[in-house]
Chains A and B, each alone.
Chain A
Amino acid sequence: MKKVLFLAIKDLKVLLSNKGNIFWVFGFPALFALLFGAIYSDAGKEPSGIKIAIVDEDKSEFSNSYISKLESEEALKISRAGRDEAIEQVRKGQIAAAVVLKKGFGDGFEAMFNSDEPKLEIAADPSRKMEGGYLQGLLAKAQFEALGDKFSDRKGLRSQIDLWRNDVKDSNDLDSKQATLYSNFFDSFDTLVKDVNDKNFNKGFKGNMLNFTKLDVSKEYNGPITPFQITFPQALLWGILGCTATFAISIVKERTHGTFERLRVGPIGLAHILGGKGLACFITCCLIICALYICAKTIFKMPLGSLLLFVLAILCTLLCFVGLMMFICTLGRTEQSVGGAGWALIMIMAMFGGGMVPLAFMPSWLLPFSHVSPVKWGILALEGAIWRNFSLTEMMTPCLILLAIGTAAFLLGVFSLRRQEQ
């Protein structure tokens, strides 16, 4: 064990002897964390600032009211434009969508719900599907609110009921029995709207048609969730990934420079050498994590769900990536090949595991692939300890998967290394 420690200390000395190394191992993950923090600084909030253009071809009182509802949405930034101009802006990627309120948009309920000839058109940027989907939700919400406004106006509602009654009278499709049923219903409805007192009318016909309360699924603690808390696991993972690549390359460097051979001739086994390398990688990762954690605590005031589970998540994640380091170092015989192949593998793991793009943005057919990425399980374990309020049992799934991946990669790496030696 003493010799493993000597080997690890030597590796740390070699690592710290180079200012470039210090930056890439310690500075880069910190910068990455800050960058992620900035990118996802709105995490936990609703999206804001979706730019859309409204084309009001109806120019009715209802369309005006509808546009006002949309303008009151914080998530939208609305401009008014002509049809061609608005569509051109979408094509150029200047706005997410153009919404066209066609002539007749405000002509009562039929206009709003007529599926044969819709009075509302949306031209959305196909590359911004998430924003497009969110926009459709907001448009529907505004429609329901506008509808709610109509219901809250007795005069307007009664004239709408008159229109429905006339439709029933003029209809050739209904037999007399059915027509009588509808007429009786609309008469009663009209009487209700006319005679009900203000208190009951307001209770029954006014108010938000779509109303809900958001439930907070994050850990209960005193204080708000900081954006850094959400992005902290990703930042940690990037620090660990960088460190993994650095040490994998250092093993190859030892092999190409002959120091590995000198050590192999010494009175120590391959296990000592790899153990030393693993320990150095582990210690370096711990230092990175400590540095990032101190930074998160002092600068970003980041709260931590459970320190014990956090330590467990860190331990399992580190063991997994130390194992992966052993595998990565056997991907080539030169520093260049291992550097290239190692980073390619890391990028793929990060990409599929939610280290680059959140898993929610990933196409559904790609999602099953994320299960094999240790980045996913690392982030999940860290999130579980930081804000997902995981119990020890819940933590077991990501932790055991991380340990299994790490062990498999370590064994595969040692096997390949022994094979390459011969």
Chain B
Amino acid sequence: MIKADNLKKRYGKTVALDGVSFEVQKGETFGLLGPNGAGKTTTIRLLCGLLKPDSGTVTLDGKTNPTLVEVRLSLGMVPQTLAIYEELSAEQNLYFFGRIYGLSGQRLKESVSNCLEIAGLTQRSKERVSKYSGGMKRRLNMVCSLLHEPPLLLLDEPTVGVDPQSRNSIFDTIEAMKKQGRTILYTTHYMEEAERICDRVAILDYGKILDMDSVSNLIDKHGGFSHMEAEFEKSPSDLDKIRQLIGSSNIQFEETKVKFETPRPMESLALLNRNGIHLKSLKIQSANLEDVFLNLTGRRLRD
């Protein structure tokens, strides 16, 4: 459905994208995860034809020109900035964008009504947008792109600066779109969002894709060991035996407590239990995309 092939883009001397390639299958939710300035927005802009790549090609639904009207009609883009008219009401905004997408009559009316409901703005649809909260504006910003029911959605950090309630509402909407079989490209620098929503994630940094796979595979490949913190029922007498059972070089004892890293946390626990070493409490911190990014770049996502 979406294919980016060796995309390169420079702004003067700054390299924004340096050979980005990926493919998104129909019905898949694909995430671009990277810190600010990684090239996520540039990728989105290239995909929808707002920018021309210096080299490389973009293919949307088999067509290599994203500016074609039929491609544009199949595309819904949620920009990072609040791309709505604050002087108008939510209803006026939706009617306007609906008409731009060629909707009219009953279909337009129904579409506007659905979008208002999805955004939870039905009650305040006639109020001027400037009076809305940040979260309400974000929700409206998203549904403005759903009016024409596009099969392909490009979401550029749609949850920036919103409250948890609005964030959940946005996630619910995206998950509903996912269930309807839409193809979604989602950019974010929040790893929790990518983990929750995306089937596959590409790690983007300094205009390059460092790796791309499902979240679990990425964690397996680059996440490193799980961090475990266990408390024994009584202070262990034979520390060497425990060291041997766990098989971790990075192990620390603290009276009745032990901290260690392991690639197979459940197997380690079962082994301890079989050898009569019983635990009072246990804390497991599994590796996540933050660890993946840290291990791939040496930096944290929000650095």
Contacts and interface: CB of A to CB of B under 8 A. Distances in A.
A236 B75 CA distance: 44
B178 to A, nearest CB: 21
A421 B50 contact: yes
Interface residues of A, number: 21
Nearest to A6: B99
Interface stretch (B78-86, B202-210, B213-221, B271-279): B78-86
Given A261-B50, A265-B72, A17 B88 contact: yes
A48 interface: no
Contacts of A422: 51-52
A3 B85 contact: no
B153 to A, nearest CB: 12
A13 interface: yes
Contacts of A18: 87
A13 B88 contact: yes
Interface of A: prevailing SS = helix
A14 B101 contact: no
A263 interface: yes
Contact of A267 (B73, B81, B128): B73
A259 B78 CA distance: 11
A18 B130 CA distance: 12
B72 A266 contact: yes
B82 A14 contact: no
A92 interface: no
Nearest to B86: A257
A6 B100 contact: yes
B102 interface: yes
A214 interface: no
A264 interface: yes
Interface residues of B, number: 30
A114 B96 CA distance: 83
B88 A265 contact: no
B158 to A, nearest CB: 12
Contacts of A10: 85, 88, 96
Interface of B: prevailing SS = loop
Contacts of A267: 69, 72-73, 100-102
A334 to B, nearest CB: 14
Given A265-B50, A421-B50, A17 B100 contact: no
Interface string B102-127: 10000000000000000000000000
Given A13-B92, A17-B128, A258-B83, A265 B48 contact: yes
Contact of A262 (B52, B88, B97): B97
Contacts of A3: 99-100
A22 interface: no
B289 interface: no
A116 B119 CA distance: 94
A347 interface: no
A268 interface: yes
Contacts of B79: 258, 261-262
B5 to A, nearest CB: 20
B73 A262 contact: no
Nearest to A264: B50
Given A262-B145, A266-B100, A421-B51, 18 more contacts: A6-B96, A6-B99, A6-B100, A10-B96, A13-B87, A13-B92, A14-B85, A14-B88, A17-B87, A258-B80, A258-B82, A262-B144, A263-B100, A265-B49, A265-B75, A265-B77, A266-B72, A266-B101
25 contacts: A3-B99, A3-B100, A7-B100, A10-B85, A13-B88, A14-B88, A17-B87, A17-B88, A257-B82, A258-B79, A258-B80, A259-B84, A259-B85, A261-B50, A261-B79, A261-B81, A262-B83, A262-B97, A262-B145, A263-B100, A265-B48, A266-B72, A267-B69, A267-B72, A268-B100
* 9 interchain residue pairs of minimum CB distance: A258-B81, A258-B83, A262-B83, A17-B87, A267-B72, A265-B77, A267-B69, A14-B87, A258-B79
